[in-house]
Amino acid sequence: MAEKARVLPQEELSPVTWSMIQVARNLIKSHLVRTPLVYDEHLSCRTGGSVWHKLESLQVTGSFKVRGALVKVLTSPPEKRMGGLVCASTGNHGRGLAYVAQKLGIRAWIVVPERTPANKIEAIRELNASVVIWGRDYGEAEEKAFALAKERGFLFCPSFDDRWVVAAHASVLWEILEDCPDADLLVVPVGGGALLAGCLLVRDRLKPSLGVVAVEAIGSPALTSALECGEPERVREVTTSADGIAVPQIGRTPFEVIAHRLAGPVIKVSDEEMEEGMAHLIGRVRVVAEHAGAAAVGALLTGRIEGTEGRTVITVVTGGNIGWNRLLSVLSKRIGDGS
């Protein structure tokens, strides 16, 4: 799609510039794969629209998160990054950063909370990164990662609360619009908010008519809490199994973008509804997704998103890093209840 677009007044309010998004996109094109956009005939018939899925589950590390890790590292001063990298992660960002570190020959330390799935921890270790298990949730793991960065002089690489990470994740919608310029509605899972924020910036620049719907887990309503309070606020407890979006507080940088651009309510889905989305993707699209990756699909399946009839709808399948035991457990439940 051509880059011609009117300059919106909201851009003055954004911490992320269009030139940053362009730099990020070029780095991603040079170093990562371009993930496919696939048609879903069953869900199209069910919703009355034309439904497509952007399969970030097929990215090199099984998640869109590697986009942000790559751009954050490559836009940092060489002397800073060569001293070592550190991040907090519920799994996917850590795997992305470990992948980037291995490619560049840099040591990486990944701090993950105690509830992080074993398959994600093992995947990080396979990339020769050091794993530090710390805290009950992402927030506590992040505090530890900050401390390590300060004590040892590591480059801290945020999972979502960073201008360059937002710019990197904006590339997801840019690719979608190139492949499907007729898109009418985008459905995006949200945890820390960088993907949603990046997509909103690209929407405003390249296709202002595109509707954007945010989907979050009932057990981790960080965006809803922030919108109600007018600023990021830590939720009391995170209870979802969707570790990819299980964060107690949305990032301040993404929220500055989202608060001025997101129209309409945030759609909330249960773990069970995300599992419906997982089962649908496996059975109908032949694609494996983790809970967070299937959040947008679950919202469509359960009829929570209105106005799909006659429209081209795109969901972002954000990741597919789920362990065999957990996947079999989800599928056995769906088979057991006749789904």
Instruction: List pLDDT tens digits, range 298-321.
Output: 999 999 999 999 999 999 999 999
* CA-based R_g, the chain, Å: 18
Cα(296)–Cα(92) distance, integer angstroms = 18
Is the pLDDT at 263 greater than 70? The verdict is yes
- The pLDDT assigned to 330 comes to 85
Is the pLDDT at 37 greater than 60? The verdict is yes
The amino acid occupying position 253 is T
- Which of 6-20, 91-105, 193-207 has the weakest average pLDDT? 6-20
* Confidence category of residue 331, pLDDT binned at 50, 70, 90: confident
- The pLDDT assigned to 12 comes to 44
* Confidence category of residue 222, pLDDT binned at 50, 70, 90: very high
- pLDDT tens column, 196-205: 999 999 999 9
Is the pLDDT at 125 greater than 50? The verdict is yes
Beta carbons within 10 angstroms of residue 211's beta carbon = 17
Question: Burial code of 148-186, b = ≥16 C-beta within 10 A, e = fewer?
Answer: bbeeeebbbbbbbbbbbbbbbbbbbbbbbbebbeebbbb
Mean pLDDT to the nearest integer, 75-88: 96
- The pLDDT assigned to 335 comes to 64
3-state class (DSSP) for residue 126: helix
Residue 298's Cβ-side half-sphere holds a number of Cα atoms within 13 Å equal to: 28
* Confidence category of residue 102, pLDDT binned at 50, 70, 90: very high
- The pLDDT assigned to 50 comes to 98
Q: Residue 95: left (phi > 0), alpha (psi -120 to 50), or beta?
A: alpha
Strands 312-317 and 211-217: unpaired
- The pLDDT assigned to 264 comes to 83
Tokens of 265: 């309510």
Is the pLDDT at 3 greater than 50? The verdict is no
Is the pLDDT at 338 greater than 70? The verdict is no
